[in-house]
A and B are shown apart, each in its own frame.
Chain A
Amino acid sequence: MSDCKTIDPLITPYVDGDIDAAGRTAVDTHVGACPPCHSRVSAERAVRDLVRTRRGDVAADAAPDALRARCTALGAAAAMSPGASTGARGVTGERAFAGARAVTGTRGFRRAIKPLAIAAGVVLAAGGVFVYQATDRSTRLLAAELAADHVKCFGVVNSLLGTDANAAAVEQVMSDVFGWQMHVPEPTGEGLELIGARPCLYARGKAAHLMYRHHGQPLSVFMLPQLARPGKRDETVEVLGHEAAVWSKDGRTFVLVAREPQAEMQRVVSVVQQSLH
């Protein structure tokens, strides 16, 4: 007959009925002759039955309505984004992370344009009710999330938009949507070229996403309103193969995401810092 030590690890799967025939027989035989192990089986079974019988009462909390609304909005935005529609999920997820261009035909892009516009509207509408609780979010997590957005948005934009966004139009939108009086950095010899802007959903808030090319390479500037990061210093972190410079000013936080050598990164950050307020 098996000893208690070999039977012990079998008790839980035995009680759960998740054990093979040989194991079951071994436990049956042992507990028939060993009162302490018999007692352990009874005790474990009693607790298991108790929790399972009361699971409806123990797990009675329902998700708050506000949380349900926010998650539903996320689902709606995801369902309408071009990446999620009709099997063309190529621009999101790992493939975008790997830097692969979206593999979709021209017709696919054309169909995708309208849903993108709607999705941006939904995201903004949903974003308006969120309040930032940024104290517990580390700079690194913030940078990682935004680097992911950078990759994703460029995946979409590469397919949808040409270059040459209108700086005045972008400034107008930023003023209307975020109450942010800003000036798009001038392209004067810095190799910086504005290609677009869109509101981006970031965690619990809305963020502005300005998309540039810097000497042809994608570069993003995110502006997060109402995010002051008290006590946290400006820093540059490396995430997802990108550099992300994070700084805060006047109750706003800025994150610049690019793939640049360190010296070049510092230069472009200082250019952007001087022109964006």
Chain B
Amino acid sequence: MTTSFEAEALGSLDSLYRTALRLTHSRADAEDLVQDTYLRAFRSAAQFTPGTNLRAWLFTILHNASRNRARDRARDHIDVDSEAVERAAETMSTGIDPAATPESLLLNDTLTPDLQAAIDALPPAFREAVWLRDVEEFSYAEIADMLQVPSGTVMSRISRGRRLLFERLHHLRPAHV
């Protein structure tokens, strides 16, 4: 019934939906965004270059749609300006106590719900970068394309996101022994 293009595109439905959930924090909005993404993707299928990464292309459409919506809804200025994000990051604490317990224990001690909550609590720009890199496993260049920022900015957002996660999870550990 569907051609292989449509079928292959629909194969990314779950991961697009999960990412949309992280972006919107609302199931209804996430569903909306994903449906909008597929509508746009099927309409502009001719612009997809066969042989390139269809999943990355769909994620780029998802992020464009999400940005358009944010812009569209904005009564006030919505700050997606990367410079402002970087400046905000400078004022955040990113210091890590070198005398802390061994980092490797983090892996064993962290409960999944705590990890989920810590990811959700990250500032949006950092959450997005870490999510696309570590959960969806895109390359820096692919993420740069989706977020429309330079690769260097992607790396620094991933870096700051991970450090904030470390701090958060580290403090959640039952005992600092």
Smallest Cβ distance from A181 to chain B, in angstroms?
30
Given contacts A40-B96, A40-B163, A63-B34, contact A78 B6 (CB under 8 A): yes
Interface SS of chain A: helix, strand, loop or mixed? helix
Considering the complex, which residues of chain A in the window 1-47 have a beta carbon less than 8 Å from any beta carbon of chain B?
A: 9, 11-13, 16, 18, 35-36, 38-40, 42-47
Q: Which residue of B lies closest to A130 (CB)?
A: B35
Cβ contacts A to B, 17 pairs, < 8 Å: A12-B156, A13-B155, A51-B130, A55-B134, A55-B135, A58-B135, A61-B18, A62-B14, A68-B10, A71-B34, A74-B38, A75-B2, A75-B38, A84-B45, A92-B45, A94-B46, A204-B35
The answer to whether A50 and B28 have CB atoms under 8 Å apart is no
Smallest Cβ distance from B168 to chain A, in angstroms?
10
The answer to whether A76 and B116 have CB atoms under 8 Å apart is no
The answer to whether B115 and A79 have CB atoms under 8 Å apart is no
A46-B103, A63-B14, A63-B16 given; 7 more Cβ-contact pairs under 8 Å: A12-B155, A44-B163, A59-B15, A66-B31, A72-B2, A75-B42, A203-B36
Binary contact readout B14-40 vs A (1 if CB under 8 angstroms, 0 otherwise): 111110010000011001101110110
Q: Point out which of A12, A47, A57 has the most chain B C-beta atoms below 10 A from its C-beta.
A: A47
The answer to whether B43 and A93 have CB atoms under 8 Å apart is yes
The answer to whether A39 and B42 have CB atoms under 8 Å apart is no
Any chain B CB within 8 A of the CB of A252? no
The answer to whether A140 and B2 have CB atoms under 8 Å apart is no
- Chain A residues near B63 (CB-CB < 8 A): none
Any chain B CB within 8 A of the CB of A274? no
Q: Which residue of A lies closest to B68 (CB)?
A: A141
The answer to whether B98 and A49 have CB atoms under 8 Å apart is no
Q: Which residue of A lies closest to B151 (CB)?
A: A13
Any chain A CB within 8 A of the CB of B152? yes
- Chain B residues near A89 (CB-CB < 8 A): 45-46
The answer to whether B45 and A36 have CB atoms under 8 Å apart is no
CA–CA, A51 and B169, complex, Å: 12
The answer to whether A75 and B7 have CB atoms under 8 Å apart is yes
Task: Pick the residue among A45, A46, A84, A148 that contacts B3 (CB under 8 A).
Answer: A84
Smallest Cβ distance from B120 to chain A, in angstroms?
10
Any chain A CB within 8 A of the CB of B73? yes
Smallest Cβ distance from A149 to chain B, in angstroms?
9
Any chain B CB within 8 A of the CB of A138? yes
Task: Pick the residue among A67, A84, A152 that contacts B17 (CB under 8 A).
Answer: A67
Any chain B CB within 8 A of the CB of A267? no
The answer to whether B68 and A59 have CB atoms under 8 Å apart is no
Any chain B CB within 8 A of the CB of A136? yes
Any chain B CB within 8 A of the CB of A64? yes
Closest 7 CB pairs of A and B: A78-B42, A75-B6, A46-B103, A89-B46, A63-B17, A51-B134, A12-B159
